[in-house]
Chain A
Amino acid sequence: MKLTVWTYEGPPHVGAMRVATAMQGLHYVLHAPQGDTYADLLFTMIERRSKRPPVSYTTFQARDLGGDTANLFRSAAQDACDRFRPEAIIVGASCTAELIQDNPGGLAEALGLPVPVIALDLPSYQRRENFGADETFLQIVRHLARPMARTARVSCNILGPTALGFRHRDDLAEITALLEEMGIDVNLAAPMGARPGDIARIGAAHFNVLLYPETAESAARHCETAFGQPFTKTIPIGVAATRAFIAEVAALAGTARHPDEARLRQPWWAASVDSTYLTGKRVFLFGDATHVIAAARIARDEIGFEVCGMGCYNREQARALRATAKQFGVEPLITDDYLEVEAAIAALQPELILGTQMERHIGKRLGIPCAVISAPVHVQDFPARHSPQMGFEGANVIFDTWVHPLVMGLEEHLLHMFRDDFEFHDAAGPSHHGGHAPRSLSDAPGALPPHPQDISERKMPEAPAADRPDAAAPAADSIVWLSDAERELKKIPFFVRGKARRNTESFAAGKGLNEISIDTLYEAKAHYAR
């Protein structure tokens, strides 16, 4: 048993729903109690879909248990086929139905339905949403795809985009256009937009483009084994990664046509002098492993940030993240407990968080700006405009998105110079962000914004030292800030104050000092000066 307040991933059947909802002509018959229908609103509200997800829930109740829950499943499956006339159905159980062991696969098989029945076995008490999506897509491909002759022209499949994915809609459009520019046909994109009949001819492509290992790596590996289709390993997020992806695709396709880079603005935007202020800003990254790994490289190599920490919530891809963290010389944080993530961010005091909607809220609490780079998604992550993360336009979008939450260059200087102006003071926050000032920030040692009832605050001091990314640093609470130094610290603008506090305390601890004076503050500043 594990206490959870917020979760990064839903249960595995929600992953299956993401696949079913992305596809056309497929129906999901889910053995589940009433209440599990809440998952529909993820798609109709967060993603603003104009159709109900293609899911029939058996909605059994207590009085059905031990009675005819199996019969409920049979009639739900039959009704779904009669009413929606799908080309194939997937069947499975949610967490509660898993316990009553009705075997939806066997029941559906015995009905003799006129369409292929694909049974899903998604262990609800061990696995999560991404696994559910990956496994569901694998089973669909295994059941429906058959070996067949390759297309005459060079072609590929695009694998991975699902419903409720972080910018999957726009990434798919971007990468489809990029492949077309390279003269490569897209045989099939799946799950998004594909019909069961389309899946059957997956083997006609020469190779596969895997966009999201989280949702389609198992299917890509299956196609490699079953149909001899290689798949791409580079995720085209960022300028360098997009160019590497193009090279990888060109090698697989035997083509030399390079797409037009004229609309790529990100490198010049990063090189222009206005961006100088971005240099060395400390960023913390958290999300799914694929997006975090890509973001870490962009942050360091394409924008000039310093990556001070990174982590992911999906253990399935943790190995790749650990390897990247090692290259960056930071401790990887692999956890699905947002309180641990909050503790790590509070300890590291980054100047920018690149995370999920959870980290956006953590950033609000800690007064640290945040840009969202990964699922879990929020209604804000489905903008009306085209807003990909992948390809050259994706690189442009990422530059804008990450820079937007920060105080801009000249404004940063003005805040240093005229910090006591009653309107233009540091607590007012970035001037392009409306009227909300960040809350009191870390003005008291180790303090979070006032939130007396929040459990996270109580948990944080309990975090074992070994789990803390700055475990080497001595405990800051044994060091006293003299009042002069404390006042001086408050003159430092809010967006660097946390860093100054932390650096000074580390410096003092390293020197064996118990007190911090104004001199200590400025000695530390000189020590850390780059």
Chain B
Amino acid sequence: MTPLPGGGCRDLPVLRERGQREVFCGLTGIIWLHRKMQDAFFLVVGSRTCAHLLQSAAGVMIFAEPRFGTAILEEKDLAGLADAQTELDREVDRLLARRPDIRQLFLVGSCPSEVIKLDLAKAAERQSARHAPHVRVLNFSGSGIETTFTQGEDACLAAMVPVLPQTQARELLLVGALPDVVEDQALALLAAMGITPVRVLPARRSGEMPAVGAHTVFALTQPFLADTREALLRRGARQIAAPFPFGEEGTTLWLRAVADEFGVPADLFDSVTAAPRARARKAVAAQAGTLRDRTLFFFPDSQLEVPLARFLARECGMRPLEVGTPYLHRDILGPDLDLLPPVPVLSEGQDVDRQLDRARAQRPDLTVCGLGLANPLEAEGLATKWAIELVFTPVHFYEQAGDLAGLFARPLRRRALLSPATALEAAE
């Protein structure tokens, strides 16, 4: 990749804010993780608030196949009248008796369970021994006091890494929960370049979990997997650094970094990627007309903000005014920061009222924010894109590049449809 003449954003000063955060907690990740891992159950040990969050987070209730639930702490658990560990064992026994198809159980810590220091690692160890070999029990924290939104997936995958089997094989490991269709596309592209076998974390079923070792090389497909990356490095695996596979450029650079690692000849790389690259460019171009020269403001949400800003700025011609992210992991986002043209404000953390003041002062053409803020900003005349759709929709790799651009173009097109007069004003 060619560094930008202006030097990108790697060395920009960062506005760090501390205040009210309008973000989900890590439990939200269960909404997609339970669909991805088809023989896993996620048991949150928490309060009624946790259960209410899980059923509200997706905006609607999802009633099909709930492979998650909440063991709600009650007064007697807190007052020490009941031994929480015994109570938890009882609930787990009942759950596993009802669900013989479950092979992996995750005990998920919450704010209340962390505050009362309920030892879920101990519980997981004890229950693993009790239900082995049929069910493996692991634990991680999705609590709001420790995790923000997508960090829940990071905590889950990081909890899996230490128990992955050991291997000496030189294998590629893709890390990050992708929709199956997208994962299959990525695997097909890699296979066409002769890179096989490729392992995936998390695997769709517990029997297909990858092995890791000193000869494993891994590529992240999601930028929020900092702890998982650390855990893999501790297992001796090596990371392939690359921009994230959003858009035609991001996907090509990501694939090229992997191809270079495995010595794929340039002509093979070109012949495999030429057709999907052309399709992706065409699909993005169809949306870019709506996006070009429009200003953009990111509220912190999924940690996808920096790679998405890079895609929208470089491939769609948008002008980011502020790129806010819950955490800025420079080790992971370095390649994306290098490519992102300098932005006026790069912010980490949040004080939502101050950030709203900045957004209102700048009146961006498009604001990317959470569900709690979207309608209020729309009512103030600002077009918004719900950030949560970016983690619930297939957006990675070539075939989704046009869809990804479309997610941002649609709110602008819609405003133009509903009020042609406003669109004319904006166009002038």
Contacts and interface: CB of A to CB of B under 8 A. Distances in A.
A11 B145 contact: no
Taking each of B19, B67, B69, B378, which has the highest tally of chain A beta carbons within 10 Å of its own beta carbon? Answer: B19
A35 B150 CA distance: 12
Nearest to B92: A3
B91 interface: yes
Interface stretch (B70-78, B252-260, B261-269, B389-397): B70-78
Contacts of A50: 375-376, 378-379
Contacts of B24: 35, 37-38
A3 B111 contact: no
A280 interface: no
B373 A35 contact: no
A30 to B, nearest CB: 10
A52 B373 contact: yes
A453 interface: yes
A95 B98 contact: no
B275 interface: no
B347 interface: no
A34 interface: yes
Interface in B57-112: 57, 59-61, 63-75, 77-78, 82, 84, 87-88, 90-91, 94-95, 98-99, 101, 111-112
Interface stretch (A120-128, A430-438, A478-486): A120-128
B66 A454 contact: yes
B61 A378 contact: yes
A128 B73 CA distance: 13
Nearest to B371: A41
Taking each of B20, B75, B371, which has the highest tally of chain A beta carbons within 10 Å of its own beta carbon? Answer: B20
B183 interface: no
A57 interface: yes
B271 interface: no
A40 B74 contact: no
B51 A37 contact: no
Contact of B73 (A46, A49, A125, A452): A125
B55 A52 contact: no
A51 B380 CA distance: 9
B47 interface: yes
A384 interface: no
A454 B114 CA distance: 30
Interface string A425-462: 00000000000000000000000000111110011001
B126 interface: no
A128 B53 CA distance: 14
B63 A4 contact: no
B25 interface: yes
Interface stretch (A60-68, A222-230, A248-256): A60-68
B293 interface: no
Nearest to B95: A3
A203 B8 CA distance: 65
A100 interface: yes
Contacts of B148: 34-35
Interface in A21-61: 33-42, 44-46, 48-52, 56-61
Contacts of A466: none
A198 B65 CA distance: 48
Nearest to A96: B111
Given A1-B88, A11-B49, A125 B60 contact: no
A45 B59 contact: yes
B375 to A, nearest CB: 4
A462 B375 CA distance: 45
A6 B63 contact: yes
Contact of A33 (B72, B73, B90, B144): B144
B388 to A, nearest CB: 9
Contact of B48 (A7, A56, A99): A7
A48 B376 CA distance: 9
Taking each of B47, B63, B114, B116, which has the highest tally of chain A beta carbons within 10 Å of its own beta carbon? Answer: B63
Given A1-B71, A7-B48, A36-B144, A95 B112 contact: yes
A292 B88 CA distance: 35
Contacts of B63: 6, 361, 364-365
A2 interface: yes
Interface in A141-181: none
Contact of B21 (A37, A45, A454): A37
Contact of A453 (B74, B101, B116): B101
A123 B47 CA distance: 12
Interface string B1-39: 000000000000000000111111111100000000000
Contacts of A414: none
A61 B95 CA distance: 31
Contacts of B88: 1
Interface residues of A, number: 67
Given A1-B88, A62-B145, A453-B67, A52 B376 contact: yes
A11 B47 contact: yes
A1 B69 contact: no
Interface string A496-527: 00000000000000000000000000000000
Contacts of B19: 59
Interface in A98-154: 99-100, 123-126, 128
Contacts of B370: 41
Nearest to B144: A35
B53 to A, nearest CB: 5
Contact of A95 (B48, B67, B95): B48
A4 B20 contact: no
Contacts of B98: 455, 458-459, 462
A361 to B, nearest CB: 4
Given A1-B84, A6-B61, A99-B115, A33 B145 contact: yes
A482 to B, nearest CB: 33
B227 interface: no
Contacts of A357: 61
A56 B65 CA distance: 35
Contacts of A37: 20-24, 372
A161 B162 CA distance: 53
A62 B145 CA distance: 5
A34 B371 CA distance: 15
A34 B373 CA distance: 15
A5 interface: yes
Interface in B349-400: 353, 370-376, 378-379
A11 B48 contact: yes
Nearest to B111: A96
A36 B49 contact: yes
A124 B116 contact: no
A39 B373 CA distance: 12
A14 B47 CA distance: 13
B303 interface: no
B222 interface: no
A125 B74 contact: yes
A474 interface: no
B56 interface: yes
Given A6-B55, A10-B48, A96-B112, A34 B25 contact: yes
A4 B51 contact: yes
B325 interface: no
Q: Which A-B residue pairs are the 3 nearest by beta carbons?
A: A35-B25, A35-B144, A40-B372
Given A35-B25, A64-B145, A125-B75, 16 more contacts: A1-B73, A1-B82, A1-B84, A4-B69, A7-B48, A10-B48, A10-B56, A41-B59, A41-B371, A50-B376, A52-B373, A79-B353, A96-B144, A124-B48, A361-B61, A455-B66
Interface of B: 19-28, 43, 45, 47-49, 51-53, 55-57, 59-61, 63-75, 77-78, 82, 84, 87-88, 90-91, 94-95, 98-99, 101, 111-112, 114-116, 143-146, 148, 353, 370-376, 378-379
11 contacts: A1-B71, A3-B91, A7-B52, A11-B47, A39-B56, A40-B372, A40-B373, A45-B371, A60-B145, A64-B145, A125-B75
